[in-house]
Amino acid sequence: MSERLQKYLASCGIASRRKCEEYILSGKVRVNGVIVTELGVKVNEDSDIVQFNNKTVRPEENKIYIALNKPTGYVSTVKDERNRKTILDLVKVKERIYPIGRLDYDTSGLILLTNDGDLYNKIIHPREEKNKVYIAEIMGIPTEDQLFKFQRGIIIDNYKTSPCKINILKNEKGICTVKIVIHEGRNRQIRKMCDSINHPVISLKRLEVAGIKLDNLQEGKWRYLTTDEIMNLKSFSPK
């Protein structure tokens, strides 16, 4: 689809459309290597190369931020070598998005997706201590000593986990429901921690990450984050 050059430049974040017209008239813009000084020229994003001050420019992609309630049986990747279902089978948008972190194949709950690389790096960086809240069903009832050990940190994969929180919500017929709050995200971390105290996980669901809550979002459904949620993520600081 073709559009006027000044509109294209504005969509690239160069300046306002009127200011872009001034840049064109002053000879600062090239199309396919040729300086353009006429305002009526149209360009096509797919076939034309536009340069401003000798640097190629392209329209800024619309940034989107999504919360998904991932069911079990889906991998948290864009593609899967084993052809298993991915979370992108559940989220159909035109933008090229990717998950912020991962949830195991057998884990359900909240996962965030975006095409904002800056926010992705901010949230995923290990120095940012972002609370992640889970509900887990585990076999048996942990003792006070086991809970204390769990909270202080456990050696898994030759690494000691950071302090966390675990609270028993209920126990019934040998199955205990616990709430776990961690700020790390190592591979199958909670499952390995529970295995280490001899109370393996039966089911695991994430309810919250970095202040974004799952709330009443139905399994397999997704929603756009609100403006307030996005701003909170961008200004996020460790708790």
Residue that the structure tokens 């509109």 belong to? 7
Which own/partner pairs from 28-35 qualify as long-range (CB within 8 Å, at least 24 positions apart)?
Answer: 28/52, 28/53, 29/5, 30/54, 31/5
Cα→Cα distances 200→7, 142, 175, Å: 58, 11, 10
Q: Where are the domains of the chain?
A: 2-56, 65-127+212-235, 131-209
Domain 65-127+212-235 has CATH 3.40.50.300: no
CATH topology of domain 2-56: 3.10.290
**Do the two domains 65-127+212-235 and 131-209 of this chain adopt the same fold?**
yes
Q: Which of 46, 48, 80, 104 is catalytic?
A: 104
Q: Give the pair of three-digit tokens for residue 66.
A: 């999504």
Q: Within 10 Å of residue 180's Cβ, how many Cβ atoms?
A: 23
> What's the confidence (pLDDT) of residue 146?
97
Q: What is the CA radius of gyration of the chain?
A: 24
Q: Are 38 and 61 in contact (CB under 8 A)?
A: no
So what's the pLDDT on residue 237? Answer: 52
The C-alpha atoms of residue 95 and residue 150 are separated, in whole angstroms, by 41
Annotation says 104 is catalytic: yes
Q: 55 - beta bridge partners?
A: 52
pTM above 0.85, yes or no: no
Rounded Cα distance, 174 and 190, in Å: 19
Per-residue pLDDT of the chain (239 residues; tens, 9 = 90+): 789 999 999 888 788 889 999 999 999 999 999 999 999 899 998 899 999 999 999 887 788 999 999 999 999 998 899 999 999 999 999 888 999 989 999 999 999 999 888 888 888 876 666 899 999 999 999 999 999 999 999 999 999 999 999 999 999 989 999 999 999 888 899 999 999 999 999 999 999 999 999 999 999 999 999 999 998 898 865 44
What is the structure's pLDDT at 198?
A: 97
The CATH code that applies to domain 131-209 is 3.30.70.1560
Q: How far apart are CA 119 and CA 103, in angstroms?
A: 18
